[in-house]
Structure 1
Amino acid sequence: MFLTNILLAEAKKKSKYLMVTVQSMVSGHSIILVRPREQDKYELIKFDPWIRKMAYYKEIRKIRAL
């Protein structure tokens, strides 16, 4: 067995989940959520407490891998 095969087998695996920040496009209110790595970026409609109405939230950045 070659040394490269051993090193590749012990390489770090990528995590399955990401912690991301989603932000309201109306008021700027932010929420931190966890999503699977393979999934598309979050775009959702949630209740915005700053304006007290349903608002469109969009993922703005990745915080860390879990």
Structure 2
Amino acid sequence: MRLTEVLFKKVKSKRIMVLMESVVSGHQFNMFRDRLADKLELLRFDPYIQKECIYRERKRIRSA
């Protein structure tokens, strides 16, 4: 085993994929955000109720 392989750390990505869920209907979609940023909460069109509503970050899916 080489010395350089021991010294290298596993690199983490700067962005992660998160699951966004509608507060009203439960509609979901995936979105990317920075790893160090706060949890997302945004206003977006919900196709189930045909109106804008709040979407909140539900869980982290994977790193990007």
TM-score for both structures, normalised by structure 1: 0.85
2:27 corresponds to which residue?
Answer: 29
1:57 corresponds to which residue?
Answer: 55
Ranges in structure 2 where 5+ consecutive residues have no aligned partner: none
Ranges in structure 1 where 5+ consecutive residues have no aligned partner: none
Q: Percent identity?
A: 44
Question: Could you give the per-residue CA deviations for residues 5-62 of structure 1, whole angstroms, max 9, x where no partner exists?
Answer: x73x401121100000000000000010011111111100100000000001000000
Q: Where has structure 1 moved over 2 Å in runs of 4 or more?
A: none
Number of residue equivalences: 62
Secondary structure of the residue aligned to 1:27 is: coil
CA-based RMSD: 1.6
1:11 corresponds to which residue?
Answer: 9
